[in-house]
Structure 1
């Protein structure tokens, strides 16, 4: 139960930060990408602040032997770039640049009444489901070829 409450509190803090900084407003985010027009550097400042807090947090937390609510840290071990990583990053960037939403900003935007956020989150869920279906289908085909 403590894990769930902890996740809820962390999500509320993150979502509040996104909402208070204006990053749940897709117009504000899109203005960051409009260098020739109404450029707004605030997204860069928010991201820079987040990187500083994250770096300090990681340095502090990773000194522990294990997380508070788990037996070990689940950190990525792969260092190579593969097609799913590159394609996923490209889709994320294109979607963010076109809509002004990223998953972290779209979820709080649902609660703020941004109607477009519902379309974005629904599309995101459909995309995740499709990617899992394709990955499962490919894994099944690869297993069938080996047998």
Structure 2
């Protein structure tokens, strides 16, 4: 995987989500089959509850990391980012919830991609590089 020399922090055109529903801040690494994103937990986040990012926020961060991979791939090809959605979640394991001002890094590994359906394994790490969540997810590009 290629970690970028400088993280890409202007991602508004790379994902279909808009504020206040954006759950990724930066693109840190990219290859045909992998991506690494980061996200700083803020009090204004709609999924911030009880001093942490909720489980729903973590799942949305995972899905948006996949969307960021697709959007950046389209950007490199000179095309606008497509809209997509979560097709299915096979497994989600949330080990801990990130706290206020913590920066999480999310890694997605594309296992299979066919006709707009992407199967990925996703792992989220806290600022101490400890695994805090994993999932296997399918995302689908809307036609």
Same fold (TM over 0.5): no
Which of the pair is proportionally richer in helix?
Answer: 1
Which of the pair is proportionally richer in strand?
Answer: 2
Q: Greater CA radius of gyration, 1 or 2?
A: 1
**Structure showing greater relative contact order (alpha-carbon pairs closer than 8 Å, 6 or more residues apart):** 1
